[in-house]
């Protein structure tokens, strides 16, 4: 049936937020939010599950800043689980399963083990009991590596009981000038390890997103179908804090069925992508812990042009927020070009935003730096591009089993300028968001969602909003139009 009343769809460039009377200073604003009912973020930023954006290194950086990274799935389930494990083991309040070695092992084997695991020490145990500690310092000047570990390990150790707080551990580490504090039970059995590195990281990154054990939080993406359920099981076993059920069309029977199956693992599940009230409603009814919104808004996505389907992102977010009714968090995925877009997405009702382009050029993103015409770039591609499909994302676009020359891509491959560390990007994005809160007279994101008022603007209004009638002679870190 021909539709008579065609709605107007709006995106971020179509609106501005109205300034309001304010006594709020940007530095005093609170950016904390919820990703799911059980996972709190200290900043409303999540990195996209794309193979040129999020692997363990970037996920670690995001969690340290107070956000979260979602490991992409363009790899084997085992490889993805290893990426998850890297994040979970990178920092700990208490290391419950420290690397151990027998006192009867050869020193050469110990050296190889430390190198393979990328750590500087191992706890020496015999029959489960602590007998020593072997560090790189103990091995530094040894020439005969054929001897046993027991000949080189440190045996005079300062220990503590399980249940020791990090504050108590810090005092012991400082008092005895040591870097490792083993936790032992009444009979000398090893129960855990606290390191000075973890305590220093706690000081350096006070807003880090961590689980109850003091480990950095991380998510991981899966597709839809039987393989996805098996992948989810392996990711949960590796310690993933949440699973992101990732599909170009989240309002499909296969996604709804997979969502119900993955729920049985007892882990938080984000589901998407959708762009309508009905899509969000059905995912929520199927048990989604958060809804991911966005059909085609990404800079490298061609879904709307290739298929003719999509909803401008601001309208999509507002419709899905209405379906969520404040009970299930909404994630605005895609279309974020500037920090002001983050403010607009959150004002429209989103609980956080997912970033791809803005993080793709960072130091921590996968891939090497590319020099082109005297400038540094990094590769960035959509998961609907031919290259990404060949790497494992075909099922996301309903093209499993399709040969390369028959693929119908919904994304492109390109480059983005190298941007330096993630921390610098996060600083600019959160700084812009704080400024937006100040202009709107809002102390936190809940107030922004409640109080914000939009005004629609014309093409001339958008042109006026950007830099105009001047030649830029010095770039700023948070504004660029044509890179």
Please list the active-site residues.
301, 396
What is the C-alpha to C-alpha distance for residues 308 and 103, in angstroms, rounded to an integer? 66
Instruction: Tell which residue, 367, 453, 454, 443, has the closest CA to residue 31.
Output: 443
Number of Cα atoms under 13 Å in the Cβ half of residue 127: 2
Neighbour count for residue 121 (Cβ, 10 Å): 21
Separation CA 439–CA 350 (nearest Å): 19
Beta bridge partners of 183: 160, 192
Cα distance between residue 355 and residue 372, in whole Å: 24
Cβ neighbours of residue 206 closer than 8 Å, sequence gap 6 or more: none
């Amino acid at each position: 049936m021909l539709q008579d009343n065609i709605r107007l769809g709006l995106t971020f460039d179509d609106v501005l937020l109205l300034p309001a009377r304010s006594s709020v200073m940007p530095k005093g604003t609170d950016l904390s939010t919820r990703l799911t009912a059980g996972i709190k973020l200290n900043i409303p930023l999540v990195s996209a599950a794309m193979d040129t954006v999020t692997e363990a290194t970037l996920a670690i950086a995001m969690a340290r800043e107070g956000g979260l990274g979602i490991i992409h799935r363009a790899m084997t389930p085992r490889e993805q689980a290893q990426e998850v494990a890297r994040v979970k083991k990178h920092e700990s309040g208490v290391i419950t399963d420290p690397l151990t070695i027998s006192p009867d092992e050869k020193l050469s084997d110990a050296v190889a083990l430390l190198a393979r695991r990328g750590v500087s020490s191992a706890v020496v145990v015999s029959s489960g009991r602590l007998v020593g500690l072997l560090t790189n310092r103990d091995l530094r000047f040894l020439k005969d590596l054929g001897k046993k570990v027991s000949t080189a390990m440190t045996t005079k150790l300062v220990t503590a009981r399980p249940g020791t707080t990090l504050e108590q551990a810090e005092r012991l580490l400082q008092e005895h000038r040591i870097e490792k504090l083993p936790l032992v039970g009444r009979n000398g059995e090893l129960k855990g390890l606290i390191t000075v590195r973890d305590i220093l990281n706690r000081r350096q990154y006070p807003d880090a997103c961590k689980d109850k054990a003091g480990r950095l939080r991380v998510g991981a993406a899966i597709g839809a179908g039987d393989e996805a359920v098996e992948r989810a099981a392996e990711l949960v076993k590796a310690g993933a804090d949440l699973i992101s059920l990732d599909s170009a069309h989240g309002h499909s029977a296969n996604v709804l069925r997979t969502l119900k199956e993955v729920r049985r693992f007892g882990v938080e599940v984000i589901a998407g992508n959708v762009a309508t009230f009905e899509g969000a409603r059905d995912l929520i009814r199927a048990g989604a812990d958060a809804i991911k919104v966005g059909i085609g808004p990404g800079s490298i996505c061609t879904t709307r042009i290739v298929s003719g389907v999509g909803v401008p992102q601001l309208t999509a977010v507002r419709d899905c927020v209405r379906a969520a009714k404040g009970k299930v968090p909404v994630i605005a995925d895609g279309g974020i070009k500037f920090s002001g877009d983050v403010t607009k997405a959150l004002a429209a009702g989103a609980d956080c935003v997912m970033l791809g382009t803005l993080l793709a050029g960072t130091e921590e993103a996968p891939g090497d730096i590319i020099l082109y015409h005297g400038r540094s770039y990094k590769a960035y591609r959509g998961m609907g591009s031919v290259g990404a499909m060949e790497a494992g994302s075909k099922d996301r676009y309903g093209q499993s089993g399709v040969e390369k020359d028959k693929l119908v891509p919904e994304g492109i491959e390109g480059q983005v300028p190298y941007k330096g560390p993630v921390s610098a990007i996060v600083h600019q994005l959160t700084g812009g968001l704080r400024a937006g809160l100040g202009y709107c007279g809002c102390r936190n994101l809940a107030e922004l969602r409640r109080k914000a008022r939009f005004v629609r603007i014309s093409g001339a209004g958008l042109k006026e909003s950007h830099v105009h009638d001047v030649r830029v002679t010095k770039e700023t870190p948070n504004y660029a139009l044509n890179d």
